[in-house]
Amino acid sequence: MGVGTESVFKNKFMKKIHTITVISENKPGVLYRIADLFLRRKINVEELHVGKTKNPNISLFTIKIEDHEDVIGKVVKQINKIIEVYEVKYE
């Protein structure tokens, strides 16, 4: 059960565009923290949209990035740690 073999496999074959959606409190600084998590891992953002939802206190982020699924999964978990974030999903 060697650690790593699995992720090496994924890294090699599964780099593709993923869409991350984030629902958060509508407060300054959330975008900054999300952007920083990409910066830390040197991930380039392909597309980004942020806006208020019907509830003006809640924002919706739609972010497209190209990377391996295991990396995206880890970043998504870290986005979920941002205090103001209610929900984050990726596909």
Cα separation, 5 vs 84, whole angstroms: 35
Q: Measured at the alpha carbon of residue 30, what is the angle toward residues 55 and 57, in degrees to the nearest 5?
A: 15
Residues 15/67, Cβ–Cβ less than 8 Å: yes
Based on its alpha-carbon atoms, the radius of gyration of the chain, rounded to whole angstroms, reads 14
Pick the piece of the chain touching other proteins (CB under 8 A) from 12-20, 29-37, 48-56, 61-69. Answer: 29-37
Cα separation, 51 vs 73, whole angstroms: 23
Asked whether position 74 contacts other proteins by CB under 8 A, the answer is yes
Q: How far is the CB of 14 from other proteins (least distance, A)?
A: 16
Among 18, 24, 61, 63, binds other proteins (CB under 8 A): 24
Asked whether position 85 contacts other proteins by CB under 8 A, the answer is yes
Using the minimum distance from each CB to other proteins, give the nearer residue, 17 or 83: 83
Q: Which stretches of the chain bind other proteins, using CB under 8 A? A: 1-6, 24-25, 29, 32-33, 36, 40, 73-74, 77-78, 80-86
